[in-house]
Amino acid sequence: AQSVTQLDSHVSVSEGTPVLLRCNYSSSYSPSLFWYVQHPNKGLQLLLKYTSAATLVKGINGFEAEFKKSETSFHLTKPSAHMSDAAEYFCVVSDVGDSWGKFQFGAGTQVVVTP
Amino acid sequence: KAGVTQTPRYLIKTRGQQVTLSCSPISGHRSVSWYQQTPGQGLQFLFEYFSETQRNKGNFPGRFSGRQFSNSRSEMNVSTLELGDSALYLCASSFGQGGPSETQYFGPGTRLLVL
């Protein structure tokens, strides 16, 4: 069975300051992990993904995430927030077995960026 | 290359009616998944298709059904609509076998309102 927990439902940051979005996962096998972003009235866009290669994954728009198996975490970071980063972010786990082809989404973290 | 397209983008139906939503995957993609997004339940997996076969299904009642055609296009149908079916329905496609490490590319969604 797979599951994912996003530890913060809302995060507020000032423009130019670091962003940290926390994600913990549970998986019976060796999961793949993704971060997606959803801007208002838009579809989901892939930021980055981990698939058992390098544990530090770089994505688009300056985002990166680190896979830590011992902590079952996959936190998303960005050194300097931009106003355009205001959106909802989803951590996703995908696994084999009964979960084949099924993305398990976290509840989402709403990011607000203040000037 | 065109992205995932979904039609219609908006729908208003009344309780008891049935509705059919359509999804055209990215050209060359063979796996199609459907998700329901609501403010209360978040993003939930409905079903996944590959080569016209449903390989996985989420925990939804039998009123929710789908199919995939030989050209990989997919439709989902909801019969006997209930107020709680009001949601954004998202379709996603992936290349290849649609395995857990493959990125799913999402369409803009169909927003269904049931009155």
Q: How far is B48 from chain A (nearest CA, A)?
A: 6
In eight-state DSSP terms, residue B103 is P
Torsion of CA B92, B39, B45, A72, to 10 degrees: 100
> pLDDT tens per residue, chain B (115 residues)?
789 999 999 999 999 999 999 999 999 999 999 999 999 999 999 999 999 999 889 999 999 999 999 999 999 999 999 999 999 999 999 987 767 788 899 999 999 999 9
A109 CB near a chain B CB, below 8 Å?
no
- Across the strands, what pairs with A72? none
The answer to whether the Cβ–Cβ distance between B100 and A43 falls below 8 Å is: no
Give the separation between CA B79 and CA B81, rounded to whole angstroms.
6
B66 CB near a chain A CB, below 8 Å?
A: no
Distance in Å, alpha carbon of A33 to nearest chain B alpha carbon: 8
What confidence score (pLDDT) does residue B96 get? Answer: 74
Nearest residue in chain A measured CA to CA from B49: A101
Of A43, A102, A108, the CB nearest to B48: A102
- Beta-carbon separation of A32 and B100 below 8 A: yes
Q: What pLDDT is attached to residue B33?
A: 94
For B101, name the nearest residue in chain A, comparing CA atoms only. A32
Task: Show the low-confidence residues of chain A (pLDDT under 50).
Answer: none
Q: Return the pLDDT at A65.
A: 97
A62, A111, B5, B24, B34 from B107: Cα distances, Å: 24, 22, 6, 9, 10
Q: What pLDDT does residue A52 have? A: 76
Of the residues A6, A51, A103, the best mutation for testing chain B's interface (the one with the most B CB atoms within 10 Å of its CB) is A103
